[in-house]
Structures are given as C-alpha cells and as structure tokens.
Structure 1
Amino acid sequence: MAQSKKPKQKKRTGPKLWLQNALIRVLLGALLALPYRTRVRTTGWIVAHVVAPIAGYRKRVRGNLNYIFPDMDPAQVKRLEVGVADNVGRTLIEIYSGESFISRVRDVPLQGPGAALLEQCHRENRPVILVTGHFGNYDVPRAALIAKGYRVGALYNPMHNGYFNTHYENAISTIGKPIFPRGRKGLAELLKFVRGGGMTGFLVDLHFRDGVVLQHFGKPARTALSAAELALKYNAPLVPIYGIRRENGLDFDIVVEDPIPASDPETMTQGLLDSVEAITRKHMEQWFWVHRRWKVENPKVK
C-alpha cells in the first residue's frame, strides 16, 4: 500500500549502512530458507524477543500506549509490547516471501459492506482509492487483489538505506506491480494510472510534519490529506480496507468497509483515521504501535 504524501527521503550509502544491510540480508536469507509456517513464526519471535528490546521498540510501544491509554493495565501493556513486535516481524518476512505469501492470500475472499462496490469498480475499470493503516499485514489486500486480477498500483517511499532499498523494492515488486517511487516522476505515473481506471492504495496513519492536525485515538496527530484529495479530484470512492491477521498468526481476513462519504479532504481523512482506530481497538496487537504517530504532540516517545 502507498503512504500518503511525505517529503522524499534521500537514499544514503556508506560503510555503516552497508554493514547494517549485510547483517539484515544474512538474517533474511536464513529465515527464508525455512518452511513458510516456521519462517513466519520464527521471525515474529525473533523480532518480539530479540530485536524489539535492542531497537527500543518495546519502549516505544509502551510510550504510545501510556499516552493514549494511561489507565491500561500494565500487564496488558506488556502483552502488547510482545504481540505488536511479533506482528511486525511476521509482516516483514511475509512481504519478503514472494510467491509463498501470495499463495497464502490469493484466495482469501473480500468481506465487508464495501466488497461489492470494489468488485463492481473492478469490472467497470473505475478508479478506487484504497486506504489502510499499519495494521495486520497492510500488504495482504494489495497482494490478494492483484492475484485476483485487479489493477492495483502503489506509491512507495524508498528506504533511506540505499543498499536495503534495492532488495526491498524487489520484494514489494514481486507481490505486484506497478509500484511508483515517491517523487515527481513517480507521482505523475501514479496519477496517469488512476486516470486510466487503476486502483491505488495509501497508508494513512503515519506522522507527517506538514500534515493537518486531526484526531487519532483522541489525540492531535499531523496527517496528510493526499488520499482524500486524490479521491475528490478523480471522483473515485475512498475505501478503507484491511488485512486482519487470524488467531493462528498465518492466515487473514480481508475486510472492505463502506466508502468514506465525499465532502472535504479534512473531514474525509478524519473518517479514515476513525476507521483505523475502530479496527485497531478490536485487534490492539495488530496496529504498529512502534511508530512515532504522535511525534510532535508526544515527544517523550523517541
């Protein structure tokens, strides 16, 4: 899925980043050699119990939860510190698993009140702006829709580590094309794709320095309006969609919600944030609480 409008990051290189990427490649290679089920479960465990404590992810999860839910039971916070990191790890290795991942999700049916509209737009070659959050596995809807024959494009933000970005692009390209790198050229190609009836996906729940201040979990959060603006410009439905991880940790449900009513970009984007919040409250461990969503408003989360 695409991320909303954000200043383009310059890809960097150098010995430190080369070594960082080399270590990641070795770990990914070892994990990808495992059978799919074992691979996904093992990666979740490693990220939750090894990577997260070292990288400070548990601290960040705890800080965000304490900010949003100050009265949450400390035992529940601790469970979420582990559960969130486990889901992050599973998502990463699934995205790198190529055909094994696609095979896992290609036949997952579309559920929810917006599914019929999405299927109709596909038949009629009408553009749709799909919006999800960093929830469950956010690339499940894109992978499944493309496997079903839908034309779905994605605008992606290149990683700042230039070495890592090369194989990251390969991984997301394997799931499906077209993908459009952030920047003037990529945006122009994406707009052409939408004008031609293509669907495109956005991730709406990241902090954006120049975004509009809206409410997310009852707290002010700077948010880009790009998805709503694009929907209004091309008279395209703005549809929330989610890949919800099942209890077995390996399979998913794909839920398509009713489109957000057309109004103005701020109101529509607030509706998207409300949708992400509602689905998260039902599956707290599946939202990426590792992100600095409230970066300015909650500076204690580093």
Structure 2
Amino acid sequence: MTKDTPAFRLDHWMQDRLLRALIWLLLRLPYQWRVPLCGWLMARMIAPLAGYRDRVRANLDRILPDLPAPEVERLSRAVPDNVGRTIIEIYSGAEFVGHATRFAPTGPGLAALDKAHMQRRPVILVTGHFGNYDASRAALIARGYRIGALYKPMKNRFFNAHYIRAISRIGTPLFPRGREGLADMVRHLRAGGMLGLLIDQHMNHGAPLTFFGHEAMTALSAADLALKYDAIVVPTYAIRRANGLDFDIVVEAPIPHGTPEEMTQALNDSLEAVVRKHPDQWFWIHNRWKPGRA
C-alpha cells in the first residue's frame, strides 16, 4: 500500500456491497419501474435510517421557517425521492441519456453557447444538486458541445470506483477536484471546451456569500476560472417533469464578468430562484449553511 492509498475500511466495503446489490437488482427492472422504485426506497426506507429526512426538516426550519408543517413533511419525503431517482438514473446509462435528451434545451443562454462553441471559447456551465444535474450535461453533449465535468471523489473508494464508471457513460472527460485533475481540466478549457461544475456545497475556504438570505460559504472557482481563461459562465438546470422521468433543460443567460464574489453571488441567486420554484428537487440533505473556517 502506498502512502496515498486509503486504508481499507470494512464499513465502507460493506456499504458498497449493499449498494452494488441494490443497484444490480434495480437495473433488472424496466426503466419506468426502477426509477420511481429507487425513489420510493430512498424516501421510505433509506432516508429515515440515514437521518436525511431529519436533515431536510432542520434545513427547512432554519431557512424557510414559515413553511406550513404539511409542506415540510411532504418535502422531507419528496427530496429523498428525487435523490433516489437521481442515483439509479445515473447508473442507467443510455436509458437515462435517452430521457435527458427527449426534449431540446431551451433558454436565453443557448445562443451564447452556440457562439462560444463555434468560436472555441471556453465555457463554465454551472448548476447545483438539483433535479438530476447530469441530465443537463447529457442533453448539452447531445447538442454537439464538448463538455467535461469536475467532480468530487467520494470518501468511500469502493463506491467511488464504479460511480465514476457510471458517470463516464454519460459523457467524458471527467476531472477530479484537486491537483490530480487540474492540468487536464486547464488543457480542456484552453482548447475551447466547456466545463460543468456544481456550486452548492459548503466550502470551508470559500467566500461568505448568501443563499436564501443566509450566509453560505461558496467556492469562487467557477468565476476564477472564467476570469483567468476568458470563459463565459452559464447557469443551466435539469428540471424534473411531473412524470418523474423526463426533464426540461433550461440554459440561462451568461453571468456578466465582474469580481469573483459578484459573479458567484449571481450564481447563488440563480440557483435560489429555481429552487424556490421547485423546492422538492434540490438536495436539502446537504449541510449547506455551516460556518466557515478562518
């Protein structure tokens, strides 16, 4: 074992084996059954045991304290349901891509993406853990764009290995956060590629910006990359349709260049507006509003 190889953890290995078995069983079912079933299993069985429903309630109580109790209870089930659907969709490969690309993307940012693609100008595509964030990547790749994705490796290295294989089937290249993926990511941008990343997780060393009116430590990386490589920054979202299987892919207008803080706050505001319209589709299970680290 090298110095950089994580130590073997029996609990991680067991968790991975259970998840592999569940995913294998679900993939034996027709797509239109497996997706809602995985959502139901996550909402009704896994989320209560993992404390996800309590996390949803706690975040809603803090951020939206005037929300009626029945709506809080609904969201405590609907949010994990969307998470479960998202997980099995990602593992469904071509079937998921087929649903993500059934309807053409819309929105005021499409013309800017087409122009940047033709001019080989770098683009930073920004979204959040909303709907199924990989649906927008699949839909825009199908449009002919060269899109790479920045991802955060999971702590469970056993699960991480096959998760990377799953998201690779949606599209490549993929770049791990940190030094390992930095050089390849920069080469991709300099060659006029598009880079997709998520902006809505707590970052200890991020900037103390606001999200839903509360301080939320937010990474400035999207804006920093855009300013350094003269890239346009475009928010994009995959909004799950009422049937629970298809998506509306929305591409918003580019964020004007300014200071990294101004640009990133605009991205936070964009995501907040979408979440307010579809609160059941955002991952309220995240610890988004933790205090920062000095």
What interval of TM-score do these two structures reach, taking the shorter chain for normalisation? Answer: over 0.9
Return 5+ residue gaps in structure 1 as ranges. 1-8, 298-302
List aligned pairs for 1:26-105, cutoff 5 A: 26-105=21-100
Residue of structure 2 in register with 1:186 after alignment: 181
Distance 2:34 2:100 in 1: 16
Residue of structure 2 in register with 1:203 after alignment: 198
1:166 CA drift (Å): 0.8
**More RCO (CA 8 Å, sep 6+):** 1
Supply the AA of the counterpart residue of 1:217: F
1:147 CA drift (Å): 2.4
Name the CA shift for 1:10/1:88 in 2 (closer, same or farther; >3 Å): farther
Residue of structure 2 in register with 1:241 after alignment: 236
Distance 2:111 2:105 in 1: 9
List aligned pairs for 1:1-302, cutoff 5 A: 11=6, 13-296=8-291
Supply the AA of the counterpart residue of 2:183: A
Supply the AA of the counterpart residue of 2:232: P
Matched residues, number: 289
Cα deviation code 1:84-125 (max 9, x no counterpart): 111011011111111111111224212111111112222222
Identity of aligned residues (%): 57
1:16 CA drift (Å): 1.6
Distance 1:10 1:273 in 2: 35
Cα deviation code 1:180-214 (max 9, x no counterpart): 12221311110110000000011011100111100
Return 5+ residue gaps in structure 2 as ranges. none
Q: Retained in 2: the 8 A contact 1:48–1:85?
A: yes
Name the CA shift for 1:12/1:221 in 2 (closer, same or farther; >3 Å): farther
With the length of structure 2 as denominator, give the TM-score of the two structures.
Answer: 0.95
Supply the AA of the counterpart residue of 1:106: T
1:148 CA drift (Å): 2.6
Distance 1:187 1:75 in 2: 45
Supply the AA of the counterpart residue of 1:133: G
The ranges of structure 1 where at least 4 consecutive aligned residues each deviate by more than 4 angstroms after the TM superposition are: 9-12
The RMSD of aligned alpha carbons is 1.4
Q: Retained in 2: the 8 A contact 1:10–1:160?
A: no
- Which secondary structure does the structure 2 equivalent of 1:167 belong to? helix
Distance 2:118 2:94 in 1: 25
Distance 2:235 2:242 in 1: 22
